[in-house]
Amino acid sequence: MKSAVLVFPGINRERDMARALKLVSGHDAAMVWHADTELPNGTDLVVVPGGFSYGDYLRCGAIAARAPVMDAVRKFASGGGLVLGVCNGFQILCESGLLPGVLMRNARLKFICRDVHLRVERNDSPFTRGYTAGQVIKVPVAHGEGNYEADEDTVKRLESDGRVLYRYCSPEGEIGESSNINGAAASIAGIVNERGNVLGMMPHPENHVEDIMGCTDGRGLFAGLAAHLKRAA
């Protein structure tokens, strides 16, 4: 699995992501600067990591979405290439038009930094085949603007097309207001585009891939991607 991790000014999770990718795939990820206009040859997966690109000025992800490298990412995605955006990366993917909707301030207007539970809604996607449908996983979040919002028709379309891959839930897998940590529409934590090759999610699976962290629930996402690409090779 040949991965490319984008690096913007203010991004601070690129090394965490690169480490997770190497631990699972055995290969170093290429670090791609925001001013670059091309992705490395043979790239299988582009990752837009979390952090605070450009200091979150204007809107979260709005400036990064207009960086030169994003034209290459849009071209890569249009050709069917896999793209993963985590936290600020999710915001950037929405601002760049690769995913619908927008990430708003958390409903309680507070920064949230803790472990949360997610329900895996389906496992027939490259981003979820490392899990079972309905499985509950525990991963960290760290965001102030993770409240996913979209117009009613868009949310209905996401639901009817099965494009919600991850949803905030209770430890038992129940969906409800008490487990919806940021007020996201339909408890949405992660969605894919129409083609299913671009995923944006707010939680950080890259931080739960090693035993030393006390939980390895995030590992399934990366292992599933590696398995998918190996099968496609």
Q: How far apart are CA 43 and CA 46, in angstroms?
A: 7
Q: How far apart are CA 148 and CA 159, in angstroms?
A: 14
CA angle 155, 157, 163 (to 5 degrees): 85
Annotated catalytic residue, options 87, 143, 145, 169 = 87
Alpha-carbon 184 to chain mean position: 15
| Residue 193 DSSP code | -
Question: In terms of Cα–Cα distance, which of 123, 115, 126, 78 is closest to 98?
Answer: 78
Grouping H, G, I as helix, E, B as strand and the rest as coil, residue 83 is strand
Q: How far apart are CA 37 and CA 124, in angstroms?
A: 32
Estimate the share of the chain in helix, then strand, then coil, as percent rounded to the nearest 5. Answer: 30, 25, 45
Q: 105: exposed, middle or buried (C-beta count within 10 Å: 0-12, 13-18, 19+)?
A: middle
Q: Is 169 a catalytic site residue?
A: no
Q: Is 172 a catalytic site residue?
A: no
Alpha-carbon 66 to chain mean position: 19
Q: Is 204 a catalytic site residue?
A: yes
Annotated catalytic residue, options 14, 121, 145, 206 = 206
Please list the active-site residues.
87, 204, 206
